[in-house]
Chain A
Amino acid sequence: MLEVKDLHVTVEGKEILKGLSLTVKAGEVHAIMGPNGAGKSTLSAVIAGKEGYEVTSGTITFEGQDVLEMEIEERALAGMLLGFQYPVEIPGVKNIYLLKAALNAQRAANGQADIPAPEFMKLIKSKIAEMKMDASFLQRAVNEGFSGGEKKRNEILQMLVLQPKLAMLDEIDSGLDIDAMRIVADGVNSLRAADRGILLVTHYQRLLDYIIPDHVHVLVDGRIAKSGDKELAKELESRGYDWVVEETAA
């Protein structure tokens, strides 16, 4: 589904990713872990198409399409969706309006008409219940005045509505208390499906107690230094990142 090959990325002249390769197949959950500054968030940002990241070499393909040639919205419409670590506030724009616009953009790309209002309301109601969110969220401006936990739940809500083929979640656990983390993790787990890939970027192992990954990759200095299964995450939890860093240097 997603294939990243020998990806080199610079930000403001500094090389952040130095030859990263990664393959995500449908039905798999991959966790990208690593020390701060290793380039974890850069990977998902580049896949989503954020400005300011220069790909100097390497390729990203998604279902055979050259991702780097696609506009930001085309990537989303192709089925790649990024859940933000710090979702931005958009004053005056109702949450429900953004959701509807995004869903209709997706439908338009698939040659479908706009979703009828009753059908949309029914869909939204079931999804907000799933995320244990109050209906009043829909009428509030996007992320405005939301707590950290509310923002993250809102990101997952969007995923549940838009049903991406590849869900990328950037540090979705940061700033969450344990209850919020459970809700967010439940939401992510409900996204698990045979035809969907999930890419989790996280610094801490604790999220992986709730979302069990199929593959764990440790990112050190712009490259994947080590890959394994969920046991690797546990090892990182007890031993920290230093040993991987040392192993890489050796």
Chain B
Amino acid sequence: MASQEMEQLVRREYKEGFVTDIESDTIPPGLDEGTIAFISQKKGEPEWMLEWRLKAYHQWLKMTPPSWAHLDYPAIDYQAISYFSAPKRPEDGPQSLDEVDPKLLETYEKLGIPLHERAALAGVAVDAVFDSVSVTTTFKEKLGEAGVIFCSISEAIRDYPELIKQYLGTVVPVADNYFAALNSAVFTDGSFVFVPEGVTCPMELSTYFRINAANTGQFERTLIICESRAQVSYLEGCTAPQRDENQLHAAVVELVALEDAYIKYSTVQNWYPGDEDGKGGIYNFVTKRGDCRGDRSRISWTQVETGSAITWKYPSCVLRGKDSIGEFYSVAVTNGRQQADTGTKMIHIGEGTRSYIVSKGISAGRSNQSYRGLVKIGPRAKGARNFTQCDSLLIGDQCGAHTFPYQEIGNSTATVEHEATTSKIGEDQLFYCQSRGISEEDAVSMIVNGFCKDVFQELPMEFAVEAEALLNVTLEGAVG
């Protein structure tokens, strides 16, 4: 295929994107102690929380943004950002699906999102969505019976201060990195999950989340705690396209797994990637870390990243407990001018700890993608094992894929394996499928989905189907 032709076809618009007017009592742009006090007060937080935020703010002032990532973007003016907007009132949203952009609905259709969720996702006033309200109530009752706490982080700060004090910032310390410090100072939104000892959460926390928290914030803070022998599967984000007025997103996610606990955290990220020149896309700087604090605990990250102009994200595991397990399964797709620097860190501290990394990167258009992974094995981590598989697939000849694996092995009994491949989507593979009567677009989607299979099978079932559809939508027109 001629590269010129390829280039032409790679240019696609984010036709799924849409803009809604944001009506809120937004405070003027700028960040100082007053801003933080305002946020804390608006959220009705206790004094200790304000102090915690201010401490983070002062740390942040002393820090500089990281420059090591393989990303290119203009300096961010933090004083030009508005740090608080009140949640939208239901009456300001569309009152029924008839008022929603038909193109958006078409995308939901393509993604196979269940009918009863579409209205909620499109921001239709909740009162108008009878189905999802009843669904939600049922969920709440079920979770309550099991003793699982699932609420917004703001509610948790008010209602469960002891748990917050005990766990918040213990996995990602306030001064961990520039963006985490900023988040700690100004976070306004996010979720809190607490699964008590011996309890297996009776449902995937995905469906609930998608219905109720589709309008996610700019600085999200999530904290998930699984006590001994507890288990939870949590799904963040949504295949539905999301656009946001706020260009900078800096979320922090902390996971704590005690003895024999298992946390499965799946993400599907589809933020607006910007126009053809990469303008207007979301900058996504995320700190996600799980702490396998207890023996035999297990934390598993699965992510499908298709959106954002800039992605800076390394979901990590600190394997403290003996025989604990950390997993990272990732599919990242970049098209247009998107840039992604993503990967994971597996920090082996305890004896017999194991980690498993499968990263699949797909680059199309003029996008650039890097895998950055650290495997660190401490002196006490006797018999620790890591397996890393890192594959890149290139579509067209104007995109880039880079791999930066770091290994720090402080222990001679450790076993570390790394496999990496980079391949171009084979014209031979395309020709083979097409010569069987399969259209080029279907052939690309078949090949790409085959490439991602190892990761998709880690996603919750119904979500894997949506993720495949999402991949197809994202790469629509990536190849002639």
Contact = CB atoms under 8 A, between A and B. Distances in A.
A91 B436 contact: no
Contact of B450 (A88, A93, A102): A93
Interface string B427-463: 1110111111111101000110111111000000000
B426 A73 contact: no
A82 interface: yes
Contacts of B435: 48-50, 72-73, 75-76, 81-82
Contacts of A49: 434-435
B19 interface: no
Interface string A91-129: 111000110011001100100000000000000000000
A84 B429 CA distance: 12
A72 B449 contact: no
Interface residues of B, number: 24
B437 A102 contact: yes
A141 interface: yes
A87 interface: yes
Nearest to A72: B434
Contact of A76 (B427, B436, B451, B454): B436
A218 B398 CA distance: 44
Q: Which of B1, B450, B452 has the most CB of A within 10 A?
A: B450
Contacts of A87: 432
Given A90-B447, A105-B438, A98 B431 contact: no
Contact of A106 (B428, B429, B433, B437): B437
Interface string B378-399: 0000000000000000000000
14 contacts: A51-B427, A75-B435, A76-B434, A77-B437, A81-B435, A81-B436, A84-B432, A90-B429, A90-B446, A97-B446, A98-B438, A101-B446, A106-B437, A141-B450
A71 B434 CA distance: 9
A141 to B, nearest CB: 7
Interface of B is mostly: helix
A9 interface: no
A42 interface: no
B433 A92 contact: no
A202 interface: no
A102 B439 CA distance: 9
A105 B440 CA distance: 12
Nearest 7 CB-CB pairings of A with B: A92-B450, A93-B450, A76-B437, A102-B436, A92-B453, A72-B434, A105-B437
A73 B439 contact: yes
A162 interface: yes
B451 A92 contact: yes
The number of chain A residues touching the other chain, given as a range, is 20 to 34
A161 B328 CA distance: 40
Interface of A: 48-51, 71-73, 75-77, 81-82, 84, 87-88, 90-93, 97-98, 101-102, 105-106, 109, 141, 158, 162
Nearest to A141: B450
B446 A102 contact: no
A243 B272 CA distance: 68
B403 to A, nearest CB: 18
A162 B437 contact: yes
B167 to A, nearest CB: 39
Contacts of B454: 92
Contacts of A51: 1, 427, 431
Given A50-B435, A73-B434, A75-B435, 16 more contacts: A50-B431, A51-B427, A51-B431, A72-B431, A72-B434, A73-B440, A84-B432, A88-B428, A90-B432, A91-B451, A92-B452, A98-B436, A101-B442, A102-B436, A102-B437, A105-B436
A163 to B, nearest CB: 12
A194 B437 CA distance: 23
B442 A105 contact: yes
Contact of A73 (B429, B438, B449, B452): B438
A82 B442 CA distance: 19
Contacts of B429: 88, 90
A51 B451 CA distance: 23
A49 B437 CA distance: 12
Contact of A93 (B1, B431, B447): B447
Contacts of B452: 92
Given A98-B446, A141-B450, A88 B432 contact: yes
Contacts of A75: 435
A105 B439 contact: yes
Contacts of B440: 72-73
Contacts of A92: 449-454
Nearest to A76: B437
Contacts of B437: 73, 76-77, 102, 105-106, 109, 162
A158 B451 contact: no
Contacts of B438: 73, 98, 101-102, 105
A77 B435 CA distance: 9
B328 to A, nearest CB: 19
A92 B433 CA distance: 14
Nearest to A89: B429
Contacts of A90: 429, 432-433, 446-447, 450
A106 B442 CA distance: 13
A41 to B, nearest CB: 14
B370 to A, nearest CB: 22
A15 to B, nearest CB: 21
Contacts of B447: 90, 93
Contact of A88 (B426, B442, B446): B426
A170 to B, nearest CB: 11
A157 B115 CA distance: 40
A84 B431 CA distance: 11
Nearest to A93: B450
B3 to A, nearest CB: 12
Contacts of A141: 450
B375 to A, nearest CB: 24
Contacts of A77: 437
Contacts of B450: 90-93, 141
